[in-house]
């Protein structure tokens, strides 16, 4: 969460809204913000920390662990029409990559900006080759996209 907070301005510049949701109470969020997050990122987390008391939101997104009574860590990209277009759920010992989050946002934004006439292959970043889906591409992807473009 602190890494997302550190890149918050970059995310906002991409037109992204960020919220964090957990089953923790507002009091726990405040303590966490004051005692931990504000020491990792100047000013703490600048986006809302929302409470999912009882796990109702977590259940809707398939991340609520009934036995433990917690929302499993995950991230969801929701497009302007309210459709979940990407999600990543990892168990607590492994953190998520904010750089990958930004890359995916840029890729989705590119695809939407082209009216889905271009798609972003593996590892795509702005300026790298895209694919133009259609019958003429069938069997010829190898001509326009190379594996090294994924890195």
* Judgement on whether residues 69 and 127 belong to the same structural domain of the protein: no
Question: Alpha-carbon distance 51 to 41, whole Å?
Answer: 21
pLDDT band at residue 86 under the 50/70/90 scheme: very high
Range of the domain at 129: 114-150
As for how many domains the chain has, the answer is 2
* Judgement on whether residues 10 and 64 belong to the same structural domain of the protein: yes
Domain for residue 40, yes or no? yes
- What's the half-sphere exposure (Cβ side, CA atoms, 13 Å) at 59? 8
Q: 3-state SS of 39-67? A: HHCCCCCCCCEEECHHHHHHHHCCCEECC
Average pLDDT on 93-119 reads 95
Domain for residue 16, yes or no? yes
* Judgement on whether residues 56 and 122 belong to the same structural domain of the protein: no
pLDDT digits (tens, 9 = 90+) for 45-80: 999 999 999 999 999 999 999 999 999 999 999 999
**pTM for the model:** 0.91
Domain for residue 11, yes or no? yes
Per the prediction, the chain carries an average pLDDT of 95
pLDDT digits (tens, 9 = 90+) for 19-41: 999 999 999 999 999 999 999 99
């Amino acid at each position: 969460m602190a890494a997302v907070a550190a890149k918050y301005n970059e995310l906002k510049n991409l037109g992204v809204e960020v919220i964090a949701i957990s089953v923790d109470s507002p009091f726990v969020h405040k303590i966490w913000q004051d005692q931990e997050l504000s020491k990792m990122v100047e000013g703490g987390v600048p986006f809302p920390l929302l409470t999912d008391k009882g796990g109702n939101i977590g259940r809707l997104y398939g991340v609520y662990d009934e036995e433990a009574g917690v929302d499993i860590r995950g991230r969801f990209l929701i497009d302007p029409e309210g459709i979940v277009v990407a999600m990543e759920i990892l168990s607590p010992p492994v953190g998520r990559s904010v750089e990958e989050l930004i890359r995916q946002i840029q890729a989705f934004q590119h695809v939407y900006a082209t009216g889905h006439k271009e798609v972003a292959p593996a590892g795509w970043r702005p300026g790298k080759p895209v694919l133009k889906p259609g019958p003429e591409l069938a069997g010829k992807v190898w001509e326009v996209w190379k594996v090294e473009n994924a890195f």
